[in-house]
Amino acid sequence: MNGALAPHVGKLAEGIAALGLETAPALAARLLAFGELLLKWNRVYNLTAIRSPGEVVTHHLLDSLAVLPWLRDARTLADVGSGAGLPGIVLALARPDMTVVSVESVGKKASFQQQAKIELKIDNLTVVNARVEEVDVEKCDAVISRAFSSLADFVRLAGHLARDGGALYAMKGARPDEEIAALPAGWRVAAIRDLLVPGLVAERHLLTICRVDR
């Protein structure tokens, strides 16, 4: 392939393999196409602070893919405060069998996601340009956020999107013990998992948050 990400094809393939995911050439090609589109739009619209092609692979693509093992049973997913479609678009590309709703309130970011959906033919993706607390869609098996807000705000704003028996998944850097302690009544942290992102030297955690059984 040509483009800024061409020198990083091997890094992406190695990262996918290191995560224990199936290394499908077609998936890698679509992920790289998404990364190229993100870099292109980012030059004009400032969608993300990351501009290095190598960091797009590690900090965006592989970081998003790292949560996949914990979403195996999810058939429907909402990504809230999704920004440039991270992790939602990456997960939609990796799991064409999963319906993904990507919720983003900033117009230029939602427009980029819609363009990515069209250009990459992501048929299992729906982009919603709205504030998450105002969104009324079919409830999902999983609701995910990546650096969206505090855990308390995540639950308060997006909890209504999770079906009964579903869960919220918060992608965080350092373990957020103070945020965990501040969770509102009716919710609990069911699991805290270390995420090892190939090529990324930083703490990453995935928190699973569920309703308290009554």
Give the start-to-end residue ranges of the domains of the chain. 6-211
The answer to whether residue 21 scores a pLDDT higher than 90 is: no
Per-residue pLDDT of 155-169, as tens digits, reads 999 999 999 999 999
Q: Is 21 within 8 Å of 68 (Cβ atoms)? A: yes
Radius of gyration of the chain (CA): 16
- State the pLDDT at residue 23: 64
pLDDT average, residue stretch 138-142? 97
Written in H, E and C, the secondary structure of 78-114 is EEECCCCCCCHHHHHHHCCCCEEEEECCCHHHHHHHH
- Report the distance separating Cα 146 and Cα 88, nearest Å: 10
The answer to whether residue 24 scores a pLDDT higher than 80 is: no
Band of the pLDDT at 147, cuts 50, 70, 90?
confident
Closest by alpha carbon to 2, among 36, 40, 43?
36
- pLDDT higher for 126 or 148? 126
The answer to whether residue 214 scores a pLDDT higher than 70 is: no
- State the pLDDT at residue 1: 62
In CATH terms, the fold of domain 6-211 is: Rossmann fold (3.40.50)
- State the pLDDT at residue 63: 97
For helices 25-45 and 9-18, angle between their N-to-C axes, nearest 10 degrees: 120
- State the pLDDT at residue 88: 98
Per-residue pLDDT of 29-71, as tens digits, reads 999 999 999 999 999 998 999 999 999 999 999 999 999 999 9
Mean pLDDT rounded to a whole number for the chain: 94
pTM, two decimals, is 0.96
Maximum Cα–Cα distance across the chain: 55
